[in-house]
Structure 1
């Protein structure tokens, strides 16, 4: 999310009744980039802890009717491998 190495981010599809970890496409490896078509990757050179990146993006993170994780309707995509999905939860927030 911020263009720096992260070793412990888990994203989940969530309702008040259920939480499930998002599943990367088959063949994905730890460290694979997740991209969003139409959005260029432009990481900050230096982290600013006061810059609330996730909080700004969070309202637009959801699953669509096909259980695909999306940001503003654009699928979370691991290049050459496919899209990130929820197992059973469609049209819910991703946290």
Structure 2
């Protein structure tokens, strides 16, 4: 709902191939948590104090991005990572077992547990 998004701090994956969203061109994707039965969706919450442009990493993983992402979706690393994003039993956003974080803390879902991320 628009009420959840208005004035909310959100997590956006940027520089994706353009797609239409509500009739407008978009190059990004807002990350949301969803229950396994698809009955509820909510925004992923960035850590308190986060700012636009903060770099996201995963605990225990060295951040070593390529200079440019491959234009072919099948070779773009985002499309290999995306299906493995999840919300654990404590509401923490993860890629496999690695928590999504910035230097300010972890990313979380407000109420969804053991869910998936889109």
TM-score by length of 1: 0.82
Bigger Cα displacement from structure 2, 37-46 vs 18-27 = 37-46
Coordinate RMSD, CA, aligned: 1.8
Give SS of 1:33's match: coil
1:52 aligned residue: 76
In the TM superposition, residue 37 of structure 1 has moved relative to its aligned partner by 2.0
**Which runs of 5 or more residues in structure 1 are unaligned?**
none
In the TM superposition, residue 57 of structure 1 has moved relative to its aligned partner by 1.0
Larger proportion of strand: 2
Q: Could you tell me whether the CA contact under 8 Å between 2:69 and 2:76 is conserved in 1?
A: no
Distance 1:58 1:6 in 2: 13
| More relative contact order, 1 or 2 (CA 8 Å, 6+ apart) | 1
The reply on whether 1:14 has 2:37 as its aligned counterpart is no
TM-score by length of 2: 0.68
The number of aligned residues is: 90
